[in-house]
Amino acid sequence: MREKLKHIFAHALINLIRAGWGGLASIATIGMLFLIIGIFLLMVLQLNALVAKWREQFHLSVFLEDRITQTQLEILEKRIQNEAAVKSIAFTSKQEALANFRRELKGQESLLEGLGDDPLPASFQLKIREGYHSPDVLKRLSAFLSRLEGVEDIQYGQEWIERISNAAQIMKALGIIIGLILTLGSVLIVSNTIRLAVYARAGEIEIMRLVGATKAYIRAPFLVEGMLQGSLGALLALGVLFVAYRYVAGTFKLASPLFSTAAQQGFLEPSMMAALVGGGALIGAIGSSLSVSRFLKM
Amino acid sequence: MIQMYHVYKTYGKDLEALVDVSLHIQKGEFVFLAGSSGAGKSTLLRLIFRDELPTSGQILVNGRNLVRMKQRAVPHLRRMLGIVFQDFKLLRDRTVEDNLALVARVVGLPGPEGRRRVAQLLKLVGLSHKGKMPPYKLSGGEQQRVAIARALMNDPLILLADEPTGNLDLELAVDVTRLLLEVNSRGTTVLVATHDLKLAEEAGRRTVFLKKGRIVEEWP
């Protein structure tokens, strides 16, 4: 068993080194494939993280008329609570609203001077249940709420979230399509490199078959060579992506507080990186099998 | 050891390589398969190591039916056989020893045992001193002896040789034939295809004559 493994890996490595530029071309092509897949993956993950965070923070504000009575307020609160879409409700009085605003304007409180005592309306903050976040549902809900007595205005920023969520979906689809095309290309390139390796060892393969080597025995080193090319390509891509990401994420952090979530999102998770390297190995294995099988049939 | 019953082999529609060949070779026998080129000698050998299947007829090797044998089982059949070719088929990019060691690996002989066997066989063919040389630096006769040593690496029941002396001058051809006879004297069944009638005659062993794919005569 150990002898066999030694034979397999020794020959895979020897072949890879002998493949020279061809081998490097294979690795680089797979690297390119995984770089592009990685970029799309990162973008989709970042956008999803952004969407998730915004969704979590998201609330629908129901601003109340100034002349609302305490009784009206209580009735209104009950009405709203009974809505299926409403997960929780919190009340902000005029005073609290002003205090919050002051906090947000910290250092620039002078802006508030001249606005009078109570420039801000009281409001309810509604958290919306999962599954009720679609624009249609929210539009209907807000139309309903705005008709209730004592309600001045409704505000929510859901459309932005949906747009970004859609962008993430499109990015994902685009990534899958480009990924598939490049995967096919990579398989062909590996297959070609391995084909050259197989022909270079045609004499040895013939002898091995004549003395009773099984197909699996002949195939194994080439399979490993293909898998090495694939996984090395994927590793190369992850390395490049990691360096680029560190650089870009750092820049974003400085440039915009909006993207602070993105920067915190971090690099690809270890399981994803493992999946990418595994995917590379798989592509290499498929490319290699194509060539060796064709040769062994002759 | 080898039994062929009414074997036909036809390529395409009308190229008859073998016609109604029935042949029985006993364990431990030494048999020459004689005939001019194109008589069907190589085809017959290829059928025995199941490089090809007969168009019709049955072939048994060591009790195994080659026609019914699954592709998966072919490697096991080949491990019972040693095969030698006219053009030696030695690998140029490695030494004589490594050419032999390749077989040791394929048949699963572990390192030290494999090396011992390589040394043994190089001694048998009288080339112990040339183990570290690449094959192309050896003479034709020496290369064929290396090829025979390689064919013996897996300790085969049957040695098949296709024109083993075809590329050699007379003196070396006699040498190689002597080596094949020695291999046979150790118990291996040997089947040698040759167009050199004189060689077969001098060896004085059973000789089967093929002509246009048919067995036409047999000595003794």
pLDDT band for position B60 (cuts 50, 70, 90): very high
Q: Do B83 and A7 touch (CB under 8 A)?
A: no
Residues A200 and A289 in one domain: yes
B79: which 2 tokens?
């491990």
Give dist(CA B109, CA B115) in Å, integer. 9
Contact B103 A211 (CB under 8 A): yes
Report pLDDT for A253: 57
> Residues of A with CB below 8 A from B72's CB?
214
Boundary residue ending a domain (A121, A156, A191): A156
Q: Do B10 and B16 contact (CB within 8 A), yes or no? A: yes
Residues A228, A241: one domain? yes
pLDDT tens, A73-119? 888 888 888 888 888 888 888 888 888 887 877 777 677 676 766 77
CB spacing of B154 vs A209 below 8 angstroms: no
Domain endpoint, select from A111, A131, A156:
A156
Interface test with B, best of A4, A211, A215, A296 (most B CBs within 10 A): A211
Alpha-carbon distance B21 to nearest alpha carbon in chain A (angstroms): 24
Judge whether B205 and B45 are in contact, CB under 8 Å: no
Domain shared by A27 and A122, yes or no: no
Instruction: Quote the percentage of chain A above a pLDDT of 70.
Output: 90
> Strand, helix or coil at B162?
strand
Which CATH number covers residue A76? 3.30.70.3040
Contact between B32 and B205 (Cβ < 8 Å): yes
Give the minimum alpha-carbon distance from B95 to chain A in angstroms, rounded to a whole number: 13
Contacts of A209 in chain B (CB under 8 A): 75, 78
Backbone angles phi, psi at B57, to 5 degrees: 100, 175
One domain for residues A51 and A178: yes
**How much is the pLDDT for A117?**
66
Question: Strand ranges (DSSP E) for B80-122?
Answer: 81-84
- Least Cα distance to A264 among A252, A274, A275 occurs for A252
Query: In angstroms, what CA-CA distances link A44 with A15, A52, A112, A264, A268?
Result: 38, 12, 41, 15, 11
Give how far the C-alpha of residue A287 lies from the chain's centroid of Cα atoms, to the nearest Å.
27
Q: Where are the domains of chain B?
A: 26-52+74-219
Phi-psi region of A203 (alpha: psi -120 to 50; beta: other; left: phi over 0): alpha
A206 and A119 share a domain? no
Give contacts of B92 with chain A, Cβ < 8 Å.
Answer: 203
Query: pLDDT at position A227, please?
Result: 92
> Could you say which of B102, B107, B111 has the minimum Cβ distance to residue A207?
B102
User: What is the tens place of the pLDDT at every residue in A12-45?
Assistant: 787 777 777 878 888 888 888 889 888 888 888 8
* Rounded Cα gap, residues B41 and B38, in angstroms: 7
Query: Which CATH superfamily includes the segment(s) B26-52+74-219?
Result: P-loop containing nucleotide triphosphate hydrolases (3.40.50.300)
Q: Are B101 and B150 in contact (CB under 8 A)?
A: no
Question: For A160-170, how does the pLDDT look when each residue is reduced to its tens digit (9 = 90+)?
Answer: 777 777 877 88
Q: Find how far residue B111's CA is from the centre of its chain.
A: 26
Q: pLDDT (tens digit, 9 = 90+) per residue, A197-246? A: 888 888 888 999 999 898 888 898 889 988 998 999 999 999 999 888 88
Instruction: Encode pLDDT of B11-33 as tens digits.
Output: 988 888 999 999 999 999 999 99
CA nearest to A190, candidates A19, A11, A37: A19
**DSSP secondary structure string for all residues of A144-167:** HHHHSTTEEEEE--HHHHHHHHHH
The pLDDT, as a whole number, for residue B24 is 95
pLDDT of residue B55: 94
Measured between CB atoms, does B87 come within 8 Å of chain A?
no
Chain B residues whose beta carbon lies within 8 Å of the beta carbon of residue A204: 91, 102
Domain check: are A178 and A255 in the same one?
yes
Specify whether A48 is located in the same domain as A147. no
Sequential DSSP letters for B106-157: HTT--HHHHHHHHHHHHHHTT-GGGTTS-GGGS-HHHHHHHHHHHHHTT--S
Amino acid at B65: N
Other beta carbons within 10 angstroms of residue A176's beta carbon come to 12
Q: What's the token pair of residue A134?
A: 């679609």
Residues in a beta bridge with A154: A62
Banded pLDDT at B70 (limits 50, 70, 90): very high
> For testing the chain A interface, which of B42, B72, B78, B100 should be mutated: the one with the most A CBs within 10 Å?
B78
pLDDT tens string A252-274: 654 454 555 544 556 788 888 99
pLDDT digits (tens, 9 = 90+) for A54-67: 767 777 888 888 88
Within 8 A of B108 by CB-CB distance, chain A residues are 3-4
The reported pLDDT for the residue numbered A255 is 47
Domain boundary among A115, A134, A156: A156
Residue A290 and residue A211 share a domain: yes
Instruction: From chain B, pick out residues whose CB is under 8 angstroms from the CB of A203.
Output: 89, 91-92
pLDDT at A2 over 60: yes
Average pLDDT value for chain B: 91
Q: What is the pLDDT of residue A264?
A: 54
Say if residue A257 is in the same domain as residue A171.
yes
Run of H or E residues at B98 = helix B96-106
Helix ranges (H only) for chain A are 2-57, 70-81, 94-104, 135-147, 158-200, 202-210, 215-255, 260-265, 270-297
Alpha carbons A268 and A283: distance in angstroms, whole number: 20
- Domains contained in chain A, number: 2
Whole-number Å distance between alpha carbons of B46 and B80 = 15
B89–A207 CB contact, under 8 Å: yes
User: Of all residues in chain B, what percent carry a pLDDT higher than 70?
Assistant: 100
Average pLDDT on A148-161 reads 79
Contact, B44 vs B21, CB < 8 A? yes
Q: Do A91 and A10 share a structural domain?
A: no
Residue A174 in this model has a pLDDT that exceeds 70: yes
B75/A213 Cβ within 8 A: yes
Q: Domain containing A88: what range?
A: 59-156
Q: Which residues contact A290 (CB under 8 A, 6 or more apart)?
A: A187, A191
Question: Domain check: are A237 and A293 in the same one?
Answer: yes
- Beta-sheet pairing, A151-155 with A60-64: antiparallel
Report whether A210 contacts B83 (CB < 8 A).
Answer: yes
